[in-house]
């Protein structure tokens, strides 16, 4: 007997159900409803249509003739309005009532629209069907579009419109693009490729409101107040299974319509396939599993045995020039290991996640040629123990070369400046090597590269190795950490030369061997970029040690210490009263005078920090940055103000210097002192920078230490005026900030570069000194922001200070 | 079967961040990784390490802020040469909310 089947939705899944039925000669009479005014087309190919690579005609899967040949009754542009499962009938929108033996749901899903103010304006669309695509195709040069959502759909929409000359901005709430499929490293490369296509990408950006004019979209406003003008706004932030109709007729529905392995719903005469279903708690958003479902549903309808099994999924992005592939589970975890391969010259990143000798996940960017082979390894759970060493090179390269640690240097442009001191480019160094200079010393002698501060020696050695191959033996060197083969100096130089401004950028371009670094390299890289790109680099708090992250010093019991700044060690009754008041109010157990001439409140609870800072702020005090690898204090004596021996206003100068320098970050802490006479009451001779006032001016002393190492300062020079003392001090600090390796105090750095070189840079070269001081002041405009005020008044990093939950009090409630 | 308590939204913890939960059994550090996984471990390994919510996170590991011990968040096991283990508490994410095992309520459970 002919089965009467009604299908709701002519989508990709239900289309396959029909094919299964007709290909197997099933005796069926099908009525096909579709809300869209057309039959089945290949929805995933809307993106190539948008980009202009294909036309709608190319992507139709079932045309009128196909339906006609099979006697399918097509009711396109018509919705099913209601269902009566007891009577086994459906009612169409026009009131027609049709009986069925079997009913098939293939209603797909609805794009999720964030209910932002203005989301119902004209020109705010989703990306789901041909109508949406046509609206985007209506734009061209001179138009602007904003896409909310940096996932697969959003990026395909953005790239498609950009290919038509539209000025597109993608606004993504997470820190990197396609965060569900890609890790940060691949996300960074993808972003770079899209930016190269002229697309503006804003990550970690929160949309606040859609602005309109005469009922039509005009701009998107972000929560930081930025307005992004647009003629069209596309929301591609996710989908929700379309279950309204199923719910109304009383089928079991969770996130999607519940189905069993046979694709039967809670009613044995009703089946469901596609994105509208929920199977074993999972919902679906890619076509591969939907095709499997469709086949099973077809077999179930024909009375055959079949069962749907969920399989591993993989994703590719259909944007020309952005080759990416992601499959399986690439979250890190217990017993999991990564194999990472990076080729910065080709923009390639590959990462395999291995667990128990099996590949469980893969993320590739830039070279996806072998992705199917790897996907096979994941699906088949192949044991890879035997090919582990060369696995990452793919099937053709078993036995290939290991990753080249020299890749980053080899990829540098010819005009990249290797030696900043003497202005020597890569091409000049290579020319010297080719002309016979085959040792570091020879290159130094011939090209002058590395002959001054020496911080580029490592790079010169790498160029020797790249140019001469095995003829040159690389000396052993101290790398930043186990994540890289590069030294601190090399990393710093490369960050500058290659313009690297984010952690993923550094790790990709400099071939980091781990996906996101470790606690040794992350803080160092963060500092190098803070120093190199003031105002441009977004400081990554998560790469800072706790003291710098919460702006207080952690103590051994987990409490904190709070030290407000007292410029030059000068305070007054108002400040002292405020300190006494907070000590009382917050039960501060210990109040101590520090060696840096200020007051330390010890034993403060983390939760109380913002409130204490607020009170101290009310009295005009700010953070003393006693926790920072940065400017700490300027200790002074009373100088000519009160002392009969004083030769200059040492307190005044100390205050001026501290005013100029507070807030600066450096490779390590930086302490100063100004003494008013050679009796040196401020102990300037063991500071990172000390000034001793004499009758004829100011002696500037550098490189002292009074910690684990004890070292007396060396005289840098003597200057005549306060202005000069300030300029020389700032120039010295900047030279140290720019040159020293992270966690090296100035004395260590000076012992490496030599005091003579420091003198050359600061004393002998006036232009250079002025330029250093200028760079310092430029940078300071971004860093002289009191971090305490930001946290106490503006709620910055609130999460750092408040517990997520306090369950100790609920005890009472439960009793 | 173990019961779960809602302690907040995933969004309440920044990626690669951590926050504290105070429980009758002591302080618990709840971590959100760069991949949005959630892990909960004891804040302290008494006499040895902690407070871990203040450490630097990398992969699914955290480096103790005091002595640089590195702990695997999934197992609580100290890595490398250091020996020790912090307790790990089962968590789940449901509809963007973080659920933690009722076991952190200690003897309360027995009273139910
Ligand atoms: C632009 C774009 C690109 C994509 N790219 C990829 C990709 O590269 N790879 C991949 O795997 N997946 C991709 N997808 C996802 C893929 O297209 C979907 O997973 C797939 O189309 C879902 O199939 P379906 O049959 O469940 O639903 P759909 O194809 O959405 O079909 C459902 C149909 O049901 C109709 N309908 C709904 N309610 C009713 C009703 N009450 N009465 C009548 N009709 C109704 C709808 O109008 C719709 O036509 C992409 C999706 C889009 C939008």
Identify whether A55 is part of a domain.
yes
Please give the Cα distance from A619 to A614 (Å, whole number).
9
Describe the crossing of helices A457-468 and A488-497 by its angle, rounded to 10 degrees: 80
Cα of A12 from ligand 1 centre, angstroms: 6
Q: Which atom of ligand 1 is nearest to the CA of A108?
A: 27
How many other C-beta atoms lie within 10 A of the C-beta of residue A555? 14
A550, A805, A814 member nearest B108 (Cβ): A814
pLDDT at A309: 94
Q: Which one of A237, A269, A285 terminates a domain?
A: A237
**Structure-block tokens of residue A31:** 């009525």
B59 Cα to chain A: minimum distance (Å): 6
Residue A803, chain B, CB below 8 Å: the answer is yes
How many other C-beta atoms lie within 10 A of the C-beta of residue A291? 19
pLDDT at A814: 37
Residue A423, chain B, CB below 8 Å: the answer is no
For residues A475 and A461, the answer to whether their CB atoms sit within 8 Å is yes
Give how far Cα A472 sits from Cα of A218, A461, A466, A478, Å. Answer: 62, 8, 9, 18
Residue A332, chain B, CB below 8 Å: the answer is yes
CA angle (A643 as vertex; A641, A645 as ends), nearest 5: 125
- Measured between beta carbons, the chain A residues lying within 8 angstroms of B56 are 519, 522-523, 542-546
The fold of B4-105 is Rieske Iron-sulfur Protein (2.102.10)
A543 Cα to chain B: minimum distance (Å): 7
For residues A368 and A532, the answer to whether their CB atoms sit within 8 Å is no
Domain co-membership, A665 together with A772: yes
Name the residue with tokens 């009375």.
A303
- Measured between beta carbons, the chain A residues lying within 8 angstroms of B72 are 334
Domain co-membership, A246 together with A213: no
Give how far Cα B8 sits from Cα of A134, A288, B57, B90, B97, Å. Answer: 42, 35, 20, 15, 6
For residues B49 and B86, the answer to whether their CB atoms sit within 8 Å is yes
Determine, for residues A799 and B12 on separate chains, whether the beta-carbon distance falls below 8 Å.
yes
Please give the Cα distance from A701 to A679 (Å, whole number).
15
Alpha-helix residue ranges (DSSP H) falling in A177-251: 184-196, 244-248
End-to-end alpha-carbon separation of chain A, Å? 66
Residue A556, chain B, CB below 8 Å: the answer is yes
CA angle (A733 as vertex; A731, A735 as ends), nearest 5: 65
In which element (H, E) is residue A48 found?
helix A46-51
What three-state secondary structure class fits A778? helix
- Measured between beta carbons, the chain B residues lying within 8 angstroms of A550 are 54
B56, B60, B108 member nearest A522 (Cβ): B56
Please give the Cα distance from A587 to A606 (Å, whole number).
13
pLDDT at B109: 45
Please give the Cα distance from A628 to A205 (Å, whole number).
29
For residues B35 and A331, the answer to whether their CB atoms sit within 8 Å is yes
In which element (H, E) is residue A581 found?
helix A573-585
Question: CA nearest A111: which of A159, A15, A46?
Answer: A46
Determine, for residues B54 and A550 on separate chains, whether the beta-carbon distance falls below 8 Å.
yes
Identify whether A738 is part of a domain.
yes
pLDDT at A691: 97
- Which regions in chain B score pLDDT beneath 50? 109-112
Alpha-helix residue ranges (DSSP H) falling in chain B: 108-111
Please give the Cα distance from A155 to A245 (Å, whole number).
31
Q: Which one of A237, A265, A280 terminates a domain?
A: A237
B87 Cα to chain A: minimum distance (Å): 15
Domain co-membership, A146 together with A205: yes
Determine, for residues A807 and B104 on separate chains, whether the beta-carbon distance falls below 8 Å.
yes
Identify whether A335 is part of a domain.
no
For residues A139 and A232, the answer to whether their CB atoms sit within 8 Å is yes
Judged on CB neighbours under 10 Å (0-12, 13-18, 19+), A433 is buried
pLDDT at B110: 43
Determine, for residues B21 and A814 on separate chains, whether the beta-carbon distance falls below 8 Å.
no
Protein residues with CB under 6 Å of any ligand 1 atom:
A 8-14, 33-36, 43-44, 46-47, 79-80, 106-108, 127-128, 153, 156, 242, 245, 274-275, 285-288, 290, 318
Domain co-membership, A772 together with A660: yes
In this structure, the strands spanning A124-125 and A314-316 are unpaired
Determine, for residues A518 and B54 on separate chains, whether the beta-carbon distance falls below 8 Å.
no
B24, B34, B44 member nearest A807 (Cβ): B24
Domain co-membership, A85 together with A171: no
B19, B57, B72 member nearest A804 (Cβ): B19
Domain co-membership, A165 together with A233: yes
Predicted structure pTM score? 0.76
pLDDT at A418: 86
What three-state secondary structure class fits A60? strand
- Measured between beta carbons, the chain B residues lying within 8 angstroms of A183 are 34-35
Residue A538, chain B, CB below 8 Å: the answer is no
B43 Cα to chain A: minimum distance (Å): 10
Q: What is the pLDDT of residues A239-295, one digit of tens each?
A: 999 999 999 999 999 999 999 999 999 999 999 999 999 999 999 998 889 999 999
> What is the DSSP track for A432-472?
HHHTT--SHHHHHHHH-TTSSS-TTHHHHHHHHHHHHGGGS
* Pocket test residue of A107, A112, A251, A271 for ligand 1, highest count of atoms within 8 A of CB: A107
- Chunked in runs of 10, what are the mean pLDDT values of chain A (815 residues)? 95 96 95 96 93 92 95 96 96 96 97 94 96 96 96 95 96 91 89 95 94 96 94 95 96 96 97 96 91 96 95 84 85 78 87 91 87 85 87 69 69 83 88 91 86 83 89 85 92 94 94 91 97 95 93 92 96 96 96 96 95 96 96 95 91 97 97 96 96 96 92 96 97 97 95 95 97 97 96 90 84 38
Domain co-membership, A104 together with A173: no
Determine, for residues A554 and B54 on separate chains, whether the beta-carbon distance falls below 8 Å.
yes
pLDDT at A783: 96
- Asked if the interface predicted TM-score (ipTM) of this complex is over 0.90, the answer is no
How many other C-beta atoms lie within 10 A of the C-beta of residue B107? 9
Please give the Cα distance from A41 to B28 (Å, whole number).
52
A174, A516, A804 member nearest B59 (Cβ): A516
For residues A749 and A740, the answer to whether their CB atoms sit within 8 Å is yes
CA angle (A395 as vertex; A391, A396 as ends), nearest 5: 115
Which structural domain range is residue A27 located in? 3-110+241-301
A548 Cα to chain B: minimum distance (Å): 11
Determine, for residues A807 and B37 on separate chains, whether the beta-carbon distance falls below 8 Å.
no
B83 Cα to chain A: minimum distance (Å): 16
pLDDT at B111: 40
Please give the Cα distance from A521 to A487 (Å, whole number).
11
Phi, psi of A162 (to 5 degrees): -60, -35
Q: What is the CATH number of the domain that holds A99?
A: 3.50.50.60
Identify whether A387 is part of a domain.
no
Residue A475 DSSP symbol: P
- Measured between beta carbons, the chain A residues lying within 8 angstroms of B33 are 331-332
Strands (E), A605-688: 631-636, 670-675
In which element (H, E) is residue A211 found?
strand A207-213
Identify whether A130 is part of a domain.
yes
Residue A557, chain B, CB below 8 Å: the answer is no
- Measured between beta carbons, the chain B residues lying within 8 angstroms of A811 are 24, 105, 108
**Structure-block tokens of residue B76:** 């609580």
What's the count of helices (H) and strands (E) in chain B, helices before strands? 1, 10
Q: How many domains does chain A have?
A: 4
Residue A254, chain B, CB below 8 Å: the answer is no
Question: CA nearest A540: which of A553, A527, A550?
Answer: A527
How many other C-beta atoms lie within 10 A of the C-beta of residue A423? 11
Name the residue with tokens 């699914």.
B60
pLDDT at A810: 53
In which element (H, E) is residue A22 found?
helix A12-23
pLDDT at A812: 38
Q: Which one of A189, A210, A237 terminates a domain?
A: A237
Domain co-membership, A190 together with A228: yes
How does A570-602 read in b/e, with b if 16+ C-beta sit within 10 Å?
A: bbeeebeebbeebbeebebeeeeebebbbbbbb
């Amino acid at each position: 007997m002919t089965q009467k089947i009604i299908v709701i939705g002519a989508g990709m899944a239900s289309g396959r159900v029909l094919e299964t039925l007709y290909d197997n000669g099933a005796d069926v009479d099908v009525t096909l409803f579709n809300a869209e005014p057309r039959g089945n087309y290949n929805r995933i190919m809307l993106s190539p249509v948008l980009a202009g690579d294909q036309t709608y005609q190319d992507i139709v899967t079932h045309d009128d003739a196909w339906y006609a040949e099979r006697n399918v009754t097509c009711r396109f542009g018509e919705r099913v309005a209601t269902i009566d499962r007891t009577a086994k009938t459906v009612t169409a929108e026009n009131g027609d009532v049709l009986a069925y033996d079997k009913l098939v749901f293939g209603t797909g899903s609805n794009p999720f629209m964030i209910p932002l103010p203005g989301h119902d304006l004209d020109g705010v669309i989703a990306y789901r069907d041909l109508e949406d695509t046509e609206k985007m195709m209506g734009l061209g040069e001179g138009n602007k579009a904003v896409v909310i959502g940096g996932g697969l759909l959003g990026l395909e929409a953005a790239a498609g419109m950009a290919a038509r000359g539209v000025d597109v901005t993608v606004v993504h709430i997470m820190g990197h693009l396609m965060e569900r499929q890609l890790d940060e490293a691949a996300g960074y490369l993808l972003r770079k490729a899209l930016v190269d296509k002229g697309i503006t990408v804003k990550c970690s950006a929160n949309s606040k409101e859609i602005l309109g004019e005469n009922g039509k979209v005009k701009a998107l406003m972000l929560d930081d107040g930025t307005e992004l003008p647009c003629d069209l706004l596309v929301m591609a932030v996710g989908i929700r299974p379309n279950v309204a109709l199923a719910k109304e007729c009383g089928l079991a529905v969770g996130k999607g319509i519940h189905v069993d392995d046979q694709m039967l719903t809670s009613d044995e005469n009703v089946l469901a396939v596609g994105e509208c279903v929920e199977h074993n708690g999972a919902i679906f958003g890619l076509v591969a599993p939907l095709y499997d479902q469709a086949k099973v549903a077809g077999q179930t309808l024909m009375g055959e045995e079949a069962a749907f099994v969920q399989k591993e999924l993989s994703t590719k992005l259909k944007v020309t020039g952005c080759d990416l592939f992601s499959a399986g589970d690439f979250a890190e975890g217990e017993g999991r290991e990564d194999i990472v391969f990076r080729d910065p010259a080709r923009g390639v990143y590959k990462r395999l996640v291995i667990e128990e000798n099996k590949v469980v996940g893969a993320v590739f960017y830039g070279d996806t040629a072998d992705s199917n082979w790897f996907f096979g390894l994941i699906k088949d759970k192949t044991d890879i123990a035997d090919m582990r060493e060369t696995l990452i090179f793919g099937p053709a390269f078993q036995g290939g070369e290991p990753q080249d640690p020299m890749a980053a240097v080899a990829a540098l442009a010819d005009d990249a400046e290797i030696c900043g001191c003497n202005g020597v480019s890569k091409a000049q160094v290579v020319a010297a090597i080719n002309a016979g200079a085959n040792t570091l010393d020879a290159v130094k002698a011939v090209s002058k590269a590395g002959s001054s501060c020496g911080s580029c020696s490592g790079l010169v050695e790498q160029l020797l190795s790249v140019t001469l191959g095995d003829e040159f033996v690389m000396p052993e060197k101290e790398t930043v950490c186990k994540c890289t083969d590069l030294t601190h100096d090399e990393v710093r130089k490369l960050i500058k030369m290659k313009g690297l401004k984010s952690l993923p950028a550094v790790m990709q371009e400099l071939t980091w061997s781990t996906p996101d670094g470790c606690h040794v390299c992350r803080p160092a890289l963060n500092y190098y970029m803070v120093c190199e790109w003031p105002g441009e680099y977004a400081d990554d708090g998560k790469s800072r040690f706790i003291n710098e992250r919460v702006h207080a010093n952690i103590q051994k019991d987990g409490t904190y210490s709070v030290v407000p700044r007292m410029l030059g060690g000068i305070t007054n009754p108002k400040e002292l009263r405020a300190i006494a008041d907070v000590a009382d109010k917050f039960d501060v157990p210990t109040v101590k005078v520090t060696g840096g001439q200020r007051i330390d409140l010890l034993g403060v609870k983390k939760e109380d920090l913002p409130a204490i800072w607020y009170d101290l702020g009310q009295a005009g005090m700010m953070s003393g940055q006693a926790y920072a690898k940065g400017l700490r204090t300027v200790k002074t004596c009373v100088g000519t103000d009160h002392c009969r021996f004083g030769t200059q206003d040492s307190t005044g100068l100390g205050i001026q210097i501290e005013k100029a320098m507070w807030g600066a970050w450096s490779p390590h802490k930086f302490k100063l002192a100004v003494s008013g006479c050679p009796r040196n009451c401020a102990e300037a001779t063991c500071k990172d920078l000390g000034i001793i006032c004499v009758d004829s001016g100011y002696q500037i002393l550098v490189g002292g230490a009074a910690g684990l190492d004890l070292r007396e300062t060396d005289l840098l020079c003597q200057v005549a005026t306060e202005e000069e003392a300030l300029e020389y001090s700032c120039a010295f600090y900047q030279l140290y900030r720019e040159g020293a390796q992270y966690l090296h105090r100035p004395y260590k750095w000076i012992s490496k570069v030599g005091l003579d070189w420091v003198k050359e840079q600061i004393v002998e070269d006036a232009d250079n000194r002025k330029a250093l001081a200028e760079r310092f002041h430029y940078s300071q405009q971004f860093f002289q922001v009191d971090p305490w005020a930001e946290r106490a008044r503006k709620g910055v990093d609130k999460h750092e200070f408040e517990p997520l939950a306090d369950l100790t009090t609920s005890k009472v409630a439960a009793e | 079967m173990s019961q779960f308590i809602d302690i907040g939204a995933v969004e309440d913890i920044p990626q690669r961040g951590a926050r504290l939960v105070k429980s009758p059994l002591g302080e618990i550090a709840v971590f959100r990784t760069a991949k949005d996984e959630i892990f909960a471990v004891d804040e302290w390994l008494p006499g040895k390490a902690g407070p871990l919510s203040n450490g630097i996170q990398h992969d699914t590991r955290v480096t103790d802020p005091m002595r640089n011990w590195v702990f695997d968040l999934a197992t609580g096991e100290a890595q490398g040469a250091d020996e020790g283990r912090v307790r790990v508490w089962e968590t789940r994410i449901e509809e963007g909310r973080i659920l933690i095992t009722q076991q952190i309520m200690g003897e309360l459970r027995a009273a139910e």
